[in-house]
Amino acid sequence: MFKVTPNPPDTDPTSPRTKTKPQKLDETAERVLDHYLNPKPNKSEAEAADQLFTVIKGIDTESLLANLSETLASANAMVGDLAFDLEGSRRHVVLGIQQLIELGTLLANRALDNIEPRQPT
């Protein structure tokens, strides 16, 4: 029996398939696969990946200072409790840390007052 088509079949020289080069197809396939399988993180995700904790951008200064003041007050309470469980030089070190936290709290509260002065009572 006679085979009608040659093996491999002849291609038409005007066909668009012959004009594309295999290397170009491979590059395109690689770009498509990389796009879907290995997406590049956008800039904010890359910056956030370097830190465990972050503060998002766009928060107003008053909210930041209020949260700082609350965080320092919590740290002050924890260190104060710890100081009463210790004796000697360790207790002095913890009390020194407590004074630094208290100083930070006073600075944060003064900065809050500069932003929005409190009404006298």
The CA distance from 83 to 98, in Å, is 9
pTM above 0.85, yes or no: no
Between residues 46 and 61, which one has the greater pLDDT? Answer: 61
- Which of helix, strand or coil describes residue 75? helix
Mean pLDDT (the chain) is 80
- Report, as an integer, the average pLDDT of 103-117: 86
pLDDT at residue 52, rounded to an integer? 77
Give the number of other Cβ atoms within 10 Å of residue 103's Cβ: 11
- The per-residue pLDDT for 71 is 92
The pairs formed by 94-99 with CB atoms below 8 angstroms and a separation of 24 or more are none
Predicted confidence band at 88 (pLDDT cuts at 50, 70, 90)?
very high
Q: Express each pLDDT in 3-60 by its tens digit.
A: 676 666 666 655 555 555 678 888 888 888 887 787 776 666 555 567 777 788 888 8
pLDDT given for residue 74 in this prediction: 93
| pLDDT for 10 | 61
